[in-house]
């Protein structure tokens, strides 16, 4: 199964470092940052787990719940978390899914044979409260994720949903947004009474409040 943007992500039941979960129930009415890593007790993964933990307050203020996965056991995860906390100066509290039989990794196509037959690559899934996939990214095993980009794209997705706009390249909160081509100028004047700039008929930019 190929998981496409807008699809409802597969549900699953699994053991985690914080107890058993049913994935859809665990997400509840929040956003989820679901990410895989190749293996416990590996260097790049240790930094990524630590960085996710360090950003706990940033995820929380956006209503986003992080959850990791690797094809290791819960017991291995719990031992590894001690190393993550010690080496990355943090206290990791989010759940890490145990997937020693690779069933969940296969369900989400996290196993790429060109990288490994048993270890998950660095997959990223941003999932909204309706359990729909809003963004996916895949990094190779040797390269850690850009967490600034993960936070940025969550901001962009949530802003686009609330304001009904598109966001340009490298957009960050406070930057100008783009009016959707499906919105006529007459509609845009009503929707954006603060005014907007028409650079081209198809490219109109507007200031928005993202507070």
Per-residue pLDDT tens digits of the chain, which is 211 residues long: 589 999 999 999 999 999 999 999 999 999 999 999 888 999 999 999 999 999 999 999 999 999 999 889 999 999 999 999 999 999 999 999 999 998 999 899 987 767 665 566 689 999 999 999 999 998 887 888 999 999 999 999 999 999 999 999 999 999 999 999 999 999 999 999 999 999 999 999 999 987 6
Each residue's pLDDT tens digit, 22-81: 999 999 999 999 999 888 999 999 999 999 999 999 999 999 999 999 889 999 999 999
| Architecture of the domain made up of 164-206 | 2-Layer Sandwich (3.30)
Q: Could you give the percent of the chain with pLDDT greater than 90?
A: 82
Which among 9, 27, 32, 45 is annotated as catalytic?
A: 45
Model-level pTM?
0.93
Look up 45 and say whether it is catalytic.
yes
Q: Does domain 13-158 have CATH number 3.40.30.10?
A: yes
CATH topology match: 13-158 vs 164-206 = no
Domain ranges of the chain: 13-158, 164-206
Other C-beta atoms within 10 Å of 37: how many?
28
Beta bridge partners of 137: 124
Helices (H), the chain: 23-27, 43-54, 56-61, 74-88, 103-107, 147-163, 185-191
């Amino acid at each position: 199964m190929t998981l496409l943007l807008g699809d409802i992500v597969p549900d699953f039941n699994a053991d985690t470092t914080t107890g058993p979960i049913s994935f859809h129930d665990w997400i509840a009415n929040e956003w989820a940052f679901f990410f895989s890593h190749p293996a416990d007790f590996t260097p790049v993964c240790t930094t990524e787990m630590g960085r996710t933990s360090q950003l706990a307050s940033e995820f929380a203020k956006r209503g986003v719940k992080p959850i990791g996965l690797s094809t290791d056991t819960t017991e291995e995860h719990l031992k590894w978390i001690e190393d993550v906390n010690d080496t990355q100066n943090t206290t990791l509290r989010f759940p890490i899914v145990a997937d020693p039989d690779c069933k969940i990794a296969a369900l989400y196509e996290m196993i790429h044979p060109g990288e490994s037959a048993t270890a998950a690559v660095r997959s990223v899934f941003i999932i909204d409260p309706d359990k729909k996939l809003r963004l996916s990214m895949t990094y190779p095993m040797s390269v850690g994720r850009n967490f600034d980009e993960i936070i940025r794209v969550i901001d962009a997705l949530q802003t686009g949903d609330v304001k009904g706009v598109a966001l340009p390249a490298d957009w960050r909160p406070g930057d100008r947004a783009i009016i959707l081509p499906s919105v006529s100028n007459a509609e845009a004047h009503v929707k954006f009474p603060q005014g907007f700039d028409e650079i081209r008929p198809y490219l109109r930019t507007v200031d928005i409040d993202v507070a």
